[in-house]
Chains A and B, each alone.
Chain A
Amino acid sequence: MTFYRLAAANVRSMWRRFVGLVALLAIAVAVCVTAFAVSGRAQEAADRRVQEGTANRSVTVERLTGRHGAKPLTGTAVRRLADIRHVASVQPRAQVSFGYKGPGAPGALLYATTARPALKPPVTRSVRSGLFPLRPGEIVLPERAQGNDLSALLGKKITVQTTHAEGAGQGRGAAAHIRVVGLFQPSWQLDGPDAAYADDTTVVRWAAAKAGVPADQYVRTVGYDRITVVADSADHVGKVLHSVQAKGYSAASLQQEMTALPGVLKLIRATGRILLVVLGLLALIGALVVTGALARQRVREIGILKAVGFRTRSVLAMLITEMAVVGACGAALGAALGAAGAAATAAGLRDRPDLGPYLADRIPLPGATALCGVLLLTIAVTVLGAYLPAHRAARLPPADAVREW
C-alpha cells in the first residue's frame, strides 16, 4: 500500500484527532480571508478611481490659505507651472459653495467646481454624449449628496442659491438658474465630498461674487484654489512633482492621494497582515504540537510500518501528507467561512458614508490568487510545523518502536 493512500486513509479514520487543528486553521484563515477580501476590494475600488491616463500623471497643487508666504494660484502661477519641463498641461480649479433646495433635496450644500479635462468625474447618466467641456449654465451633480437622491434632477433647470459679498464678512443670497446635464458616481471625491461640476465661467462668476471682486479680476487677485499639473508621462510624475515643490508650491501626486484608504479600511488591511503572521505561527505551532503528540501516540504504528518494510522516507511522507491534508481541509473551510465573513463585514460597513463607496458594488470575495496563496501558505506552514516531529518519528529504529513486543 502506498504512503499517500495510507495517509488519506489515516486522516479519514482518525479525523477526530485532527478536528482541533482543522478548527484552529479554519478560524485563522477565515479571519485573514475576511480582512483581505474587504480591504482588497476597497483597495480595488480606490485603484479604479485612479483612472488610467492623465489622472495617473497628475500632480495636485493646493492653495495654502492663511499661511504666511504661501503663493496664490493665480494666472501667473498657471503660466509658471506650465513652463516646467515634462508638463503636458496645467488645469486650474476654482470651487465655490452653493445651496439647493427643492424636489429630491430638502437642503443640500454643494460645491461648484470647474471641470478639468484631466479629471473628469465618472458620469453615470447624462442628457447627451460628449458632456465635457460643459457649456455655460450647465452643471453635473453627484447622484447622491448628504443622503439625498439627486438623480431626479437630471435634465431639469434648477434654481440654486449663491452668495454675494456685501462687505467684510457679510453677504446675501442670490438666486441663479442652472441646468443639470449629468450625474456622476458620488464615490468620486477627488474634489472633496459634495462637489458638483460646472463650466469655468459660471464657477469663477459665483466665486468672484462670493469674494466680492469683479469676475474678470478674480483669477488675477484671488486665484484658483487648486491647480492640476499633468505630466507628459507617468514616469515623469516624480520629476514634475519635485519641480513644482521647488518653486514653492504645495503639491502631491494624485496617485499618492488616491491610493490612501480610509483609516478603518487601512486598519482592516493591517489587521489582515498581522493575522496572516499569527496564522502562520498558529499553524506552525499547531502542526508541531499535533504531529508531535500523534507521533508519540503512534510510535508502535510507525514501528509496525517499518517492520513490514516501509522505508523511513515513506513513513515521513505519510505523516507529512496527513498534515498537508489537514492543512488543506482547514484552509478550505477557513476560506469558505472567510468569504461569508467578508460578505457580512461589507454589509455592516456599507451603510457608513465614508466606507460605503469602497464596498458598494458587490460581495467582496478574495481573488483566486489570494485564495490559492492562503491555501498554499497554510499547507506549507502546517507541513513545516509537522516536519520536525514527523522526521524524528520516522527515523525511530523499528526495534525501539515495537519494543513492547
Chain B
Amino acid sequence: MTPVNPLPQPPEARAVHKSFALRDHRVDVLRGADLCPAPGRITALVGHSGSGKTTLLQILGLLLPPDSGSVRIEERDVWQLSDNERADLRRRRIGFVFQTANLLPQHSALRNVALPRPGDAHHARRAARELLDRVGLAGRADHRPGELSAGEQQRVALARALVNGAGTVLADEPTGNLDADNERRMLRLFRETADEGRAVLLVTHSPAVADVADTVLSVTDGRVIPEPHNSPSPEARP
C-alpha cells in the first residue's frame, strides 16, 4: 500500500509524569519521561515488567492522560484538546497493534481492518483488501478472528493499524504470543512499515524484536534512556 504522503508526524511525549494509587501507596511509574519515535525507524522500548513501558505507550497513543508533562503533535498539546479531537487524532495518525490482536470476534478480517476507516464503505473495503493482500491474508478476508491463527490475527491487526495511513504505529508486545516463524514474519512487516516512512514503536521483552529495532530505548526509574548497543547489525534485520 502506498502511504498517504506526507505522513502525519508522530506524537512526542515531553517530561511525562504518571503515578497510580495502589491500595494505600502511590506508585510513580513515569518521572519525566521523554519519547519521540522517529519517522522511518523502528524504536524498541524495553524495560522490566512494571517499569512503565505500556503506560508510556498508552500516553503517547492518547489513550491515557499524563499527570503532568505533555504529549504534542505538531506542537499542539493533545491533552488540551477535547475527547472528540483526540479520538480523531488517534483515528487519523496512530495505529495500534496489541499483544492479543484485539480484533472484534464477531466480524470478518476484512471488516476488522476497515473498522477505523470512516466514510465510503466501498473505498474502505478496497483499502482493507489491499492491506490484507500485503500482509499475506487476501484469501482469509472473510474469515473471523476465531478462524485465524494467532500470527494471522496479528497481521490483521497490523493491517487495521495501517488502513487510515497512520504515520505512527504503536505496538505493545506484538509478538509476545507468536512462535518464531510468525515473529519473524511480523517483524518483517514492521520493517516494511517503517521503511515507508512511518514511526514504529515496539514495546517488547523480546531480544529478537530489539535486534531489528533502529533505536532501543529503556524505561528505567520512570525515565527513557538509550540502551547501549542500540544499532543492530544488518544481518539481524528480518
Give the B-binding residues of A (Cβ under 8 A): 1-2, 5-6, 9-10, 13-14, 300-301, 304-313, 397-399, 402, 404-405
Partner of A307, one of B63, B92, B100, B121: B63
Of A13, A304, A307, most buried by chain B (CB within 10 Å of CB) is A307
Residues on B with C-beta less than 8 A from A313 are 84
| Contact call A1/B117, Cβ cutoff below 8 A | yes
| Contact call B96/A307, Cβ cutoff below 8 A | yes
Residues on B with C-beta less than 8 A from A301 are 104
Jot down 18 A-B pairs with beta carbons below 8 A, ordered by A.
Answer: A1-B115, A9-B107, A13-B107, A14-B106, A304-B103, A304-B104, A307-B61, A307-B96, A308-B90, A308-B116, A309-B88, A310-B91, A311-B83, A397-B63, A399-B58, A405-B54, A405-B102, A405-B172
| Contact call A405/B104, Cβ cutoff below 8 A | no
Inter-chain CA distance A308–B58, complex, in Å, is 13
Task: Considering the complex, give the chain A residue whose CB is closest to the CB of B103.
Answer: A304
Residues on B with C-beta less than 8 A from A300 are 102
Given contacts A311-B84, A312-B83, A399-B64, contact A304 B111 (CB under 8 A): no
Q: B187 near A: Cβ within 8 Å?
A: no
Nearest CB on B from A317, distance (A): 13
Q: B114 near A: Cβ within 8 Å?
A: yes
| Contact call B118/A399, Cβ cutoff below 8 A | no
| Contact call B106/A10, Cβ cutoff below 8 A | yes
Partner of B92, one of A2, A14, A306, A309: A309
Residues on A with C-beta less than 8 A from B172 are 405
Residues on A with C-beta less than 8 A from B64 are 397, 399
| Contact call A309/B87, Cβ cutoff below 8 A | yes
| Contact call B98/A402, Cβ cutoff below 8 A | yes
Q: B230 near A: Cβ within 8 Å?
A: no
**Secondary structure class of chain A's binding surface, majority of residues:** helix
Residues on B with C-beta less than 8 A from A308 are 90-91, 96, 115-116, 160
| Contact call B160/A399, Cβ cutoff below 8 A | no
Residues on A with C-beta less than 8 A from B106 are 9-10, 13-14
Inter-chain CA distance A313–B102, complex, in Å, is 21
Number of interface residues of B (CB under 8 A): 34
Inter-chain CA distance A397–B121, complex, in Å, is 27
Nearest CB on B from A157, distance (A): 81
Q: B9 near A: Cβ within 8 Å?
A: no
Inter-chain CA distance A301–B91, complex, in Å, is 16
Task: Considering the complex, give the chain A residue whose CB is closest to the CB of B102.
Answer: A304
Interface string of B115-146 (1 = CB under 8 A from A): 11111010010000000000000000000000
Inter-chain CA distance A306–B63, complex, in Å, is 9
Residues on A with C-beta less than 8 A from B103 are 304
Inter-chain CA distance A140–B121, complex, in Å, is 72
Task: Considering the complex, give the chain A residue whose CB is closest to the CB of B105.
Answer: A301
| Contact call A311/B107, Cβ cutoff below 8 A | no
| Contact call A309/B104, Cβ cutoff below 8 A | no
Task: Considering the complex, give the chain B residue whose CB is closest to the CB of A306.
Answer: B87
Task: Considering the complex, give the chain B residue whose CB is closest to the CB of A3.
Answer: B118
Given contacts A1-B118, A399-B58, contact A405 B90 (CB under 8 A): no
Inter-chain CA distance A398–B63, complex, in Å, is 6
Task: Considering the complex, give the chain A residue whose CB is closest to the CB of B85.
Answer: A311
Residues on B with C-beta less than 8 A from A9 are 106-107, 111
Nearest CB on A from B143, distance (A): 13
Residues on B with C-beta less than 8 A from A310 are 87, 91, 116
Partner of A399, one of B63, B84, B89, B115: B63
Nearest CB on B from A299, distance (A): 12
Inter-chain CA distance A402–B157, complex, in Å, is 15
Residues on A with C-beta less than 8 A from B99 are 405
Residues on B with C-beta less than 8 A from A405 are 54, 98-100, 102, 172
| Contact call A1/B124, Cβ cutoff below 8 A | yes
Inter-chain CA distance A402–B164, complex, in Å, is 21
Residues on B with C-beta less than 8 A from A312 are 83-84, 87
Task: Considering the complex, give the chain A residue whose CB is closest to the CB of B116.
Answer: A308
Interface string of B170-201 (1 = CB under 8 A from A): 00100000000000000000000000000000
Residues on B with C-beta less than 8 A from A14 are 106
Inter-chain CA distance A307–B114, complex, in Å, is 14
| Contact call A2/B96, Cβ cutoff below 8 A | no
Given contacts A304-B104, A405-B99, A405-B100, contact A1 B114 (CB under 8 A): yes
Nearest CB on A from B57, distance (A): 10
Inter-chain CA distance A404–B176, complex, in Å, is 14
Given contacts A309-B92, A312-B83, 19 further A-B contacts (CB under 8 A): A1-B115, A1-B117, A1-B124, A9-B106, A308-B90, A308-B96, A309-B87, A309-B90, A309-B91, A310-B87, A311-B84, A311-B88, A312-B87, A313-B84, A398-B63, A402-B98, A402-B102, A405-B99, A405-B102
Residues on B with C-beta less than 8 A from A13 are 106-107
Task: Considering the complex, give the chain B residue whose CB is closest to the CB of A14.
Answer: B106
Residues on A with C-beta less than 8 A from B117 are 1
Of B87, B89, B91, B102, most buried by chain A (CB within 10 Å of CB) is B87
Partner of A1, one of B90, B96, B121: B121
